[in-house]
Amino acid sequence: MKIFSQLYRFIAQYLFICLVITSTKSQQSQYKYFNYTESTSGAPPLVADIKTYDDGTLLVHIIRNDSTQSAIDCLNIQGMSLEQQLYMRIIHLNGSVKEINPDLNLHPVNYCLLNSNNTEYKINKRNNHNTNILHNIINPISIYPLQQPFILVTYVNTTNSSNITAYEEWAVVVDWNGNIRSDDSGNLVSGDKTQMNTTDRMSLYRYSNSPITIISAVDNGYIIVTVFDRTLESDDSDSLFPRGGLYAFFIPYDNNYPGTSYNYNYTGTDIYQISQPNITISSVYCDKTDILIMCIASVNSNITMHYVSIRFDSTGVVRSRKVISDLPNVTGLSQQSWSAKILPFGGFILGLTVYSNIDNNTYHYIYAYNVSNSQIPLKSPGTFLTNYFGANAITNNNTFLLASPYAIDNISWSLLTIPVPTGNIYNKDYGYDNTLVKQIIPSINSIVNSSTTTLNITFVYKIALSTGNITIYKASDHSIRQRISATMQEFCKIDGNIVSIKIINNTFNEHGEQYFVTMDSNFVRQVQINEPLKGIHDGIWILKSDNFDNQNIYSDAIMGSVRLTTAASKSFLKRNQSAYIEYIDILLDEFADKVPIHRSRLSTNYRIEVLNGQIAIPIRIDMARNKTERSSSKVFSDLNNMIIYKKITTFSSDMTNDLDQDYDFKEIENYWNEYKVHMITGFMIFIIFYLILNYKFKSKIFEAISSAILGLLYLILFFQFSLLLTILVTCRNFIGQVYFV
């Protein structure tokens, strides 16, 4: 195998030496930088790739050289050795960074930069745009953001590192904690992070065609756009027969492999066809716009390179195809190397990374285009310093991120932030990171409480309900308060371009708390073209509860009962005494956590009633301990609502899901509260008469009369207390078949 020695030495010098900072003062002052210092020391980190999640969260791939390592696998293929560790970084919307260093036990060859010009090297890396000056150098590891919190990692697997022809490309899915979440068959199995009653299953797909691009669709599925070549199957004499083009696979979110039988539940369609000979597609880049999916493909003929924009919907219907005629005119730069990035508000960017032999710096050119494929000027046109990989991405707020050569020290890296103009002047972000949402009520940072009964969202288009969810959860612990599916028509109403969501009165029941409201993508669809619309992601719609002074703090304790479903009751009756005591204790623990209420205010006498085969469990709610706690009557209402509407609250999971929502939370009559005034009054009257009648009268007749009256009062008081005691015992023990502890 041969490799260009000068190129190798040149790149090695870059990778093995600290980054050199040589930028103009104007560029430093005009643009902002995002800087991050790694938590571990070592060789200087280098940004090799940047990707974005749907909500704008960034996924960054970091590499470090290892000049001291004598990796035999790298030497055998004349590759450049890197540290044998996968470094990934998540940049959250608030600017915090999460380091992910998963232990994937990959073959050492994955930590070599390989030469793609080698005639024996035939690995088809996904969508290698040839857009950086290292276009002939390939990193065997690529990363792709899936639905949060998952990352697809593609890598090389081989049993013989010396034989490059035996290399195979494999894939694995990891989460943000670095855990492997895919099995050997390529299936991803995950429990819902919100702990609602769901289990989701997705599948990974591998195709040999190259180039390829993967898009996470608005409906939570995936779209794979790949180049296909039918020249081997085509009849050259038939010029009308397509010789190749772009093919889109639409893979739904719920696709899976049932058992061992492979069920490829996806659809596909041609989105671009080539009918002329000697024409190939060398690169393709696709992403979502405000509604449609847009691809920029570079179509190469023997004479020149053309760039084509293709817009299609979620069913594969192509809405437009246009040739980009207004290409950048930069002297000395090949038009065959422009990469594309789709702008979130419409339009796109063409970019190119080049190395200057004059000042020995690496520069990145960017040119912005509107939805009509015409160039639009940048705020400050020019080139931008970058690293050798020219890693870049577009954020949801129309900011272009570019890997910077600057570093504050040897364990830091930075990204240059470049604002770019919107490609569609009619698209406006009203503050919800979604140009399709015009207004929300209550507005961001509004005050809410238990009397808040409705959420309203106004869109710019007429809409129809789809299948996504609206979720309300607490900011403090991310516990869900209410989750509404668009399929629940009793909670969702549409009026033209406005959707109204019914809120139950226990949702905002904690005072001094913050709540987040999120809307899934595909919660609604645009009526005109039936396309799913983007949602409102985490951290945008923030609501605050008021600091209400509890006026009913001294309201009496309330005694009530809950009933288990028939199935749960049958299971309960099979338990022994200690087991069902434990069951009831856990149930009360869940009440305290989900309502919420302090656990000390919940108690039971463990005396259960069995009526018509269903178990009723008595529960006591004690009065509030201080002014910040809800009164017992309000807690009773909260608990009652969460049982009735358990399918939209966290009561739909764990033991609380055993509760019968048709039974609600029944209050048990408190006879002491009802008759205590009469009892106290009677007792006071008895004391007064007792004092009067015990007075020593001079007349024996009066003494006899007073003794008779006092005896009668004794009898009445005894009867009254006996009656009350009987009522209380009856209330305490219930009716029907009762189990005592």
pLDDT: is 599 or 22 the higher one? Answer: 599
What was the pLDDT predicted at 738? Answer: 43
The H-or-E segment that residue 75 falls in is helix 72-76
pLDDT at residue 649 is higher than 80: yes
Per-residue confidence (pLDDT) for residue 210, from 0 to 100: 58
The percent helix, strand, coil of the chain (3-state, each to 5) is: 20, 35, 45
Give the Cα separation of 620 and 667 in Å (integer): 10
Q: What does the block give as tokens for 55?
A: 């909500």
Task: Tell me the one-letter amino acid at 736.
Answer: G
Helix pair 700-733, 671-693: axis angle to 10 deg:
170
pLDDT of residue 235: 54
Task: Classify the phi-psi angles of 610: left when phi > 0, otherwise alpha if psi is within -120 to 50, otherwise beta.
Answer: beta
CA-CA distance, 587 to 573, in Å (whole number)? 16
pTM, rounded to two decimals: 0.75
State mean pLDDT over 401-420: 92
Query: Per-residue DSSP letters for 548-608?
Result: ---TTTTPPPEEEEEEB-HHHHHHHHTS-HHHHHHHHHHHHHHHHHHTT--GGGEE----E
Q: What percent of the chain has pLDDT over 90?
A: 40
List, in sequence order, every beta strand (DSSP E) within 133-291: 137-138, 142-145, 150-157, 168-175, 187-191, 199-203, 212-216, 222-229, 244-251, 267-274, 280-288
What whole-number distance in Å separates Cα of residue 327 and Cα of residue 296?
Answer: 13
pLDDT at 331 over 60: yes
Q: Is residue 284 within 8 Å of residue 227, measured between CB atoms?
A: yes
Across the beta sheet with 212-216, what order do the strands follow?
212-216, 222-229, 244-251, 267-274
Determine the pLDDT at residue 213. Answer: 83
The model's confidence at residue 667, banded by pLDDT at 50, 70 and 90, is confident
Q: Give dist(CA 23, CA 46) in Å, integer.
A: 18
Q: In DSSP terms, which residues pair with 300 in a beta bridge?
A: 280, 305
Among 295, 294, 270, smallest CA distance to 283 is for 295
Residue 343 has pLDDT above 50, yes or no: yes
Looking at per-residue pLDDT, the higher value among 552 and 306 belongs to 306
Say yes or no to pLDDT of 306 above 90: no
In this prediction, residue 259 carries a pLDDT of 38
Give 124-159 pLDDT, tens digit per residue.
444 444 444 454 567 889 998 988 899 989 888 888
Per-residue pLDDT at 309? 94
Q: Where are the domains of the chain?
A: 437-545, 558-667, 671-739
pLDDT value for 10: 37
Quote the pLDDT of residue 202: 40
Over residues 71-90, the mean pLDDT reads 78
CA angle 287, 406, 30 (to 5 degrees): 75
Helix, coil or strand: residue 392: strand
Q: Any idea what DSSP says for residue 449?
A: -
Which residues neighbour 23 within 8 Å (Cβ) at sequence distance 6 or greater?
A: 385, 405, 406
Lowest mean pLDDT among 36-50, 74-88, 472-486, 562-576: 74-88
Cβ-based neighbour number of residue 14 at 10 Å: 19
* 133 residue type, one letter: I
Per cent of the chain over pLDDT 70 is: 72
Element (H, E) at 219: none
473-518 tens-digit pLDDT: 999 989 999 999 999 999 999 999 999 999 999 999 988 899 999 9
The rounded mean pLDDT for the chain is 79
Q: What's the CA gap between 109 and 168, in Å, rounded?
A: 12
The helix/strand/coil state of 234 is coil
- pLDDT band at residue 66, thresholds of 50, 70 and 90? confident
| DSSP structural state of residue 631 | P
pLDDT band at 411 (very low <50, low <70, confident <90, very high): very high
**Predicted confidence (pLDDT) per residue in 435-480, tens digit:** 899 999 999 999 999 889 999 999 999 999 999 999 999 999 899 9
What's the CATH class of domain 437-545?
A: mainly beta
Does the pLDDT value for residue 385 go beyond 80? yes
What pLDDT shows up at residue 337?
A: 75
What does the pLDDT look like over 682-715, one tens digit per residue?
A: 667 667 666 665 655 555 666 666 666 666 766 6
Sign (positive or negative) of CA dihedral 70, 73, 77, 82: negative
Higher pLDDT among residues 682 and 117, named by residue: 682
- Of the chain, the end-to-end C-alpha distance in Å amounts to 82
Residue 170: per-residue pLDDT: 86
pLDDT at position 543 is 96
